[in-house]
Structure 1
Amino acid sequence: MELTQTNAQGCTRQRSVGPQDPHADPAPLKQACVGPYLLALPQNYFDNQIGTEHDGSFALALEYPSLQPFKPGARRTVNKDIFAQTLSINYSYVDRIDVRQSLRNAYTPMAFEQDDPAASLALRLQGEDVHGLAPYYADMERIRGYRRARGLADDAPGMQDRSHRDWYVARDRNGDIQTIIKCTSRGVTESGVRFSEGRMIRSGERELPECDHFFILPEYRIRARVTYVRAALKDWHRIEQRAGELLVGSIGKK
């Protein structure tokens, strides 16, 4: 097996060869590439707690609400509580289109979606600010009508609240969207979690509403996607700062 791997942007990382111990403490540094940028992080920051996958792909995992990595080996068996606590971070290097356009694509309908009320900001219900975000709620009455007109039965999966997302946006001083967060519809009222001794754990509720949080680091041409439970939405700004600083602070370490 090759001891190094080089990606399409010329970033070369050291590969981990042989058996890996996710329980190693202190956790050894492992390398990863995001576009041309070489990162080095303790292996317990990685979702699998041993480093990148064989092809170089990876996700990071932090514990909510601390936003710290899980203890070495803690994620080798992911139970329902750890699943709920996990804040998953993915970084994508954008080199084929403008990085700002990559963010616009997250809220701009495709040509065939122009009249789909689930795909457009303009066809959503705008509400009062929530946690410093402007909400654009899924208009479920309009969505159901749109789908009925296309032959969907009322009991079809795409007709339920759980199948749709409310959108929350933050804008810069020019009014341009700089963050968009898509969360399970507010029609799903359960949080799916509760707190016990300062830790977030699964409740007995069936649903576990989630959010996908998108933002960009323009100077690096990187788009980030962070996934977490909807109960953590109130900390979106802290989460965004942590995900950005984690990337930037890890670049260039050998």
Structure 2
Amino acid sequence: MKASAPQPLSPTQDEDPAERAAELTELLGHLTACWDEERRQLARRLHDSLGSSMTALTMHLGLLSSHLKEQPQRDRAAQMKQLLNNIIETNRKMQLTLWNDKLEFLGPKAAIAELVVEWGREHGIKARASLPDDEPEYSRAQGVTLLRCAEEGLRNAAAHAQATEVDVILDDDGEQAMLTVRDNGIGAGEDAGNSLSCHGLRLLRERARLLGGSVTLGPGPEGGTALTMILPKQA
């Protein structure tokens, strides 16, 4: 007797769509938390092992160079030192891309400020950060999500907006935080909302939803594009 082909699994009639959505939201929260923790651990290992080793090598090379007498040897040692410095800088940028330590030790305000400065220098675009005078209190999940919003907004400005100026603005009234990344580029256009379907923005929207917040993408007040995230302080 010929065996029948297996049938695809389908939800049972008793399965509640709302319950299923809640389960998926919980799973997404767990996955993003694990992802963030893995990035933090990898950045820490790069700092503790590779970064420390490269710094020690630079010091040893400097000591060795001080005993070299012939100019060709001194020139070669200088080239080696520059190469090590380049590796150290690349390692530092990799660490910052994976995880910003200032987020944990100094808070989102300091982490966002550093991100904006580094991004503006790297892309040659005038980037400004407008932040609260005091350091607002956020949970770790809220701080990470705000930083990811700033990263995504800057990434999109560099890739699509053709902007020459970008502003990152963090407002906090004690009840909710609102982070906006706006540029003076070509604008989001009529289909701005559809841009949220791309993977980076879609994941950002789900991160915000998990914390009871929202993400919108649309035209800025003076043209260009504005990405805005709103997070309640108590979800």
**TM, length-normalised to structure 1:** 0.26
Based on CA coordinates, which of the two structures has the bigger radius of gyration? 2
Q: Highest relative contact order (Cα 8 Å, sep 6+), 1 or 2? A: 1
Which structure has the highest helix share of the two? 2
